[in-house]
């Protein structure tokens, strides 16, 4: 009896999406050779090995890692608000690089990886819509953060970023993950995505300074086949 490689790895990786990520990243070996085919049929006689496991609870950690390449020491001791926390990839990255505390919020309830909740520096609040300044004030009160990260889906960054300025400390910064399909209708093609990014940068100009930006090493969408996403490190003007 045989089994698909991605399904075979679910128990080890924790989920099918994580298994697929491992396979596509070349971190799975079958009988001593790297196997990047998730549909490969594993036989009882096959030897399956993971070369390197996950460093973060979700692929978001690998995305934000690219933005802080060579400058991750800047995170040490910071207070962080993670908007659109989801499973906690961004939060996990911040905690592993020395953040003093991270408060993750998301419109969804119970979405964070249980492993995150074991860290006393981490706090999670679900059911909070960052498009509503009233909801943010109700839950966050007078809190101020050194760094705010934003990774939202089905929502434009334009609907979220203005609401977050009040929660930044003086000289605080914002990390925003730009996802073209949510910023312009029909933004699934690369040409449309580039136009959407140019428009977004013009929108940023009056209120935010772009300190640094880079493409995400992982594309958006299922199986990493979507448009190229971009990470922005911003400072409010």
Which domains are assigned to the chain? Answer: 3-50 (3.10.290.10), 60-236 (3.40.50.150)
Most confident stretch, 30-44, 165-179, 189-203: 165-179
pTM of the model: 0.80
Contact at 8 Å (CB) between 148 and 81?
Answer: yes
Q: Looking at the predicted structure, is the pLDDT value of residue 114 above 90?
A: no
Whether 36 has a pLDDT exceeding 90, the answer reads no
CA of 42: how far to CAs of 2, 5, 16, 23, 171, in Å? Answer: 5, 6, 15, 13, 53
Average pLDDT over residues 105-133: 94
Maximum alpha-carbon separation in the chain? 62
Once rounded to an integer, what is the mean pLDDT over residues 204-215?
A: 96
Tens digit of each residue's pLDDT (9 = 90 or more) over 45-79: 998 888 766 788 888 998 999 999 999 999 999 99
């Amino acid at each position: 009896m045989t089994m698909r490689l991605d399904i075979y790895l679910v128990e080890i990786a924790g989920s099918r999406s994580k298994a697929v990520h491992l396979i596509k990243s070349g971190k799975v070996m079958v009988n001593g050779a790297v196997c990047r085919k998730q549909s490969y049929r594993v036989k009882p006689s096959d030897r399956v090995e993971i070369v390197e496991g996950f460093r973060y609870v979700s692929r978001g950690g690998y995305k934000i890692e690219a933005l802080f390449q060579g400058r991750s020491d800047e995170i040490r001791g910071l207070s962080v608000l993670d908007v659109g926390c989801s499973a906690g990839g961004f939060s996990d990255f911040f905690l592993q690089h020395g953040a003093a505390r991270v408060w993750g919020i998301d419109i969804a309830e119970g979405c964070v990886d249980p492993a995150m909740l074991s860290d006393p520096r981490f706090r999670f609040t679900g059911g909070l819509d960052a498009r509503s300044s009233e909801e943010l004030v109700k839950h966050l009160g007078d809190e101020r953060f050194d760094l705010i990260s934003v990774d939202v889906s089905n929502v434009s960054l334009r609907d979220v970023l203005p609401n977050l300025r009040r929660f930044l400390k003086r000289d605080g910064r914002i990390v925003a993950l730009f996802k073209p399909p949510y910023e312009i209708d029909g933004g699934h093609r690369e040409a449309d995505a580039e136009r959407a990014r140019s428009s977004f940068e013009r929108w940023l100009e009056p209120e935010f300074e772009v300190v640094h930006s880079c493409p995400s090493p992982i594309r958006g969408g299922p199986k990493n086949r979507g448009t190229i996403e971009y990470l922005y490190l911003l400072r409010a003007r």
